[in-house]
Amino acid sequence: MGRCILALVLCLCSVTIGRADPVEDFYKGKSIRLYIGYSAGGGYDLYARLLSRHLGRHIPGTPTIVPENMPGAGSLKVATYLSDIAPKDGTAIGVFSRGMPFYPLLFTPQFDATKLGYLGSITSDTSVCITWHTSAIRTWTDLMTKPSIFGGEGKGSDPDLFATLLKETFHAPVRLVSGYPGTADMTLAMERGEIDGLCGISYSTMKSAHAEWVEQKKINFIVQVATMKDRNLPNTPLMLDLATDPRHHEIINLAVAPQAMARPVTAPPNLPKDRLQALRAAFDATMTDPEFLADAARSNLDVAPMTGEAISKMVNQLYGTPKDVVLETARAMGAK
C-alpha cells in the first residue's frame, strides 16, 4: 500500500514538473526595463508608457514593466544599448525610431538590425513635415522657394534624414539645426519661433500630444512622408507623388518604407527563443486587451498594430535592396 502511495506521489510530481512553465518561472517577481529612445512628452514616450501599463499582465509570471527614458542621437543610443549592453535574457526591451533599423543600411553599421527581436508596434503611422502657423512656410511651394529652418535630433534620426532628403533630392532651401533631445523639445522650439518646423513627426503624435494645434490650425501640414496618404490629410501632398524623376522615386520609396513600422518595440538579439515568443505573444494580446484599448482612447492614441514578425520581415526586405539604390539613398539623406 505504501509503495502504491509513493508511486502516486512521484507520478503527480512528475506531471507537475512536466507542466511547469520555464518562462513564467523566469519572470515571476522580476521587472522588465522598457528603454525609451526619446525625452518625456513626445509620441514615442506616450506610446511606450501606455504599453508599460498593460504589457506585464500578458507575460507569464506578470513581471513589472518599468519605463525609462534614454534619449540620445535620435534614439541610436537605445538601439546600440539593446544590441551591445542590455541583458539578453528578456529583462530589457526598448522603443526607438522607426527609421533606426534602417540606420546601419545607410551609415557605418553600429548594430545588426536583422538580429534584433522585434515585438511589434502599437500603430502603423504616417509621418509629416510641419511648420508653425506664424511661419512663412505654409505649403509645399513655400518650402521649395523660401528659406526655412528645420529642427533635428541627431544623425540618423527621422527629422535629420528627411530634412536632408528635402535639400538633396528636391533642392529645398532648408537649413537643419540638429541636437534636440526629442519631439517635445523641437515642437517647443517651433512654437517659440526658433525653427520653422520639423520633418518626420508622426501625425498620431500631433493628434494626441497637440490635438488643439490640429483643431485650431496652429500648424501647417506641408507634406506626408509615408508610402500612402493618410485619410485624415487629404489635402496634404505625399512626398512620393512629388518625385517626378524615376530614380528619385526609388530613393524616396526606400527612404519612407520604414515609416510603416511606426514605433517598434524591440528586444535585444539572441534572446532565448521561448522568451521572445512569449514577449511577442504578450504584445499581441495587449493590443486587443479592453483595458489597454480604453486607456489608449482616453489618451487619444491610435491603435493599429503591426506584429513583430511583420516588422522583422520588413527589415529583412529592406536589407535586400539593390546596393546602388541604397548608396544613392544614403547620399540623398546625408549618410554618405
pLDDT in tens, 21-44: 999 999 999 999 999 999 998 889
| Residue 12 pLDDT > 60 | no
Q: Which residues touch 58 (CB under 8 Å, ≥6 apart)?
A: 281, 282, 283, 285, 286, 289
Same domain, 131 and 236: yes
273 membership: H or E segment, kind and range = helix 273-286
The predicted pLDDT at position 149 comes to 98
Same domain, 38 and 110: yes
Q: What is the mean pLDDT of the chain?
A: 91
Same domain, 104 and 166: no
Same domain, 134 and 251: yes
Q: Average pLDDT in the 200-206 region?
A: 87
pLDDT band at 5 (very low <50, low <70, confident <90, very high): very low
| Residue 184 pLDDT > 60 | yes
Same domain, 181 and 82: no
Same domain, 118 and 265: yes
Count how many domains the chain has. Answer: 2
Same domain, 266 and 254: no
| Residue 19 pLDDT > 80 | no
Same domain, 146 and 247: yes
Tell me if the pTM is above 0.85: no
Q: Could you tell me the CA-to-CA distances from 221 to 190, 268, 318 in Å, in that order? A: 14, 36, 28
Give residue-wise pLDDT tens across range 119-178. 999 998 889 999 999 999 999 999 999 999 999 988 778 899 899 999 999 999 999 999
Cβ–Cβ under 8 Å, residues 102 and 316: no
Task: Single out the residue in 258, 288, 312 at which a domain terminates.
Answer: 258
pLDDT band at 95 (very low <50, low <70, confident <90, very high): very high
In a domain, 19, yes or no: no
Q: Average pLDDT in the 210-237 region?
A: 93
| Residue 220 pLDDT > 90 | yes
Task: Domain of residue 39: give its range.
Answer: 29-124+261-332
The predicted pLDDT at position 225 comes to 93
Task: Single out the residue in 222, 242, 258 at which a domain terminates.
Answer: 258
Cβ–Cβ under 8 Å, residues 32 and 92: yes
CATH number at residue 135: 3.40.190.10
In a domain, 159, yes or no: yes
Give residue-wise pLDDT tens across range 275-307. 999 999 999 999 999 999 999 999 989 999 999
Same domain, 83 and 105: yes
249 membership: H or E segment, kind and range = helix 246-256
In a domain, 4, yes or no: no
Same domain, 297 and 319: yes
